[in-house]
């Protein structure tokens, strides 16, 4: 099988949004009287927003607002933060240009709601790179289930076996591997030594490290 397709996660990989998600979560949870620490918040990285809210509702059991209301508030909060101060991750344009020049089909598969995905790719001015954009919002299951990756590949007209997936989280990596895609992880600095990343085909410290040599390691050259 020839590798001819690349699919990217978004949050924490293309846009430096994880800290902004954290601030949005803490701010909204504070209105509920919930003290969500960074250590606790890390347990739900990579899940869909409504799954995160449901998880913490079961944990803290607040009754002042519905999980739907809280989900909407968090998404609105983080969208505003990203539009105001969201920055591209190191190597964003490099990696998109790299695969564009290789004539790879390029997709995006994110756990974020579609409204946020569209806001981010417009904010970063990268919409023209993507032949398909898939949100797990529309899937019966979110990551670590492979559904969003499989949907993105299908929209691109690609077999999962022809795809490379780029991820930053263990949850996302698991989803991509379950879809039978070659998987590259670029974890956050504090999480690079997590032994679970051994499941990936390749681990990098930055998108800038990916080149023809790395592509060859994946069997793409």
Name the 3-class secondary structure at 21. Answer: helix
Whether residues 74 and 103 share a domain: the answer is no
Residue of 11, 16, 168, 201 with catalytic role: 11
Residue 110's domain comprises 5-16+87-217
The confidence band for 171, taking pLDDT boundaries of 50, 70 and 90, is very high
Using one digit for the tens of pLDDT, what is the confidence trace for 123-148?
999 999 999 999 999 999 999 999 99
> Of 85, 101, 116, which marks where a domain is finished?
85
- Please give the share of the chain, as a percent, with pLDDT higher than 70: 100
Whether residues 185 and 207 share a domain: the answer is yes
Whether residues 29 and 133 share a domain: the answer is no
The total of structural domains in the chain comes to 2
Residue of 4, 9, 168, 201 with catalytic role: 9
Using one digit for the tens of pLDDT, what is the confidence trace for 56-84?
999 999 999 999 999 999 999 999 999 99
103 φ/ψ sector (left φ>0, alpha ψ -120 to 50, else beta):
left
- Tell me, what CATH number does 193's domain have? 3.40.50.1000
Whether residues 24 and 123 share a domain: the answer is no
Whether residues 126 and 48 share a domain: the answer is no
Whether residues 179 and 207 share a domain: the answer is yes
Whether residues 127 and 183 share a domain: the answer is yes
Whether residues 137 and 31 share a domain: the answer is no
Rounded-to-integer distance, Cα 199 and Cα 207, Å: 18
Active site residue 63: no
DSSP label at residue 89: P
Active site residue 125: no
Using one digit for the tens of pLDDT, what is the confidence trace for 183-202?
999 998 778 889 999 999 99
Q: Name 184's bridge partners.
A: 166, 202
């Amino acid at each position: 099988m020839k590798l001819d397709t690349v699919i990217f996660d978004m949050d924490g990989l293309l846009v430096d949004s994880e800290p902004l998600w954290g601030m949005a979560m803490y701010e909204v949870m504070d209105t509920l009287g919930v003290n969500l620490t960074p250590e606790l918040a890390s347990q739900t990285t990579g899940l869909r927003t409504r799954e995160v809210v449901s998880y913490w509702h079961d944990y803290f059991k607040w009754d002042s607002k519905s999980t739907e209301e809280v989900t909407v508030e968090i998404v609105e909060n983080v969208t505003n933060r990203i539009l105001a101060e969201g920055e591209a991750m190191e190597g964003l344009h490099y990696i998109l240009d790299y695969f564009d020049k290789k004539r790879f089909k390029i997709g995006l598969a994110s756990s974020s709601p579609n409204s946020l995905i569209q806001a981010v790719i417009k904010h970063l001015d990268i919409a023209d790179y993507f032949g398909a954009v898939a949100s797990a919002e529309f899937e019966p299951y979110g990551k670590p289930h492979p559904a969003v990756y499989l949907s993105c590949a299908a929209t691109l007209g690609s077999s999962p076996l022809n795809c490379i997936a780029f991820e930053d989280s263990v949850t996302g990596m698991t989803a991509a591997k379950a879809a039978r895609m070659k998987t590259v992880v670029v974890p956050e600095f504090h999480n690079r030594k997590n032994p679970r990343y051994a499941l990936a085909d390749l681990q990098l410290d930055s998108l800038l490290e990916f080149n023809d040599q790395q592509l060859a390691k994946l069997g793409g050259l």
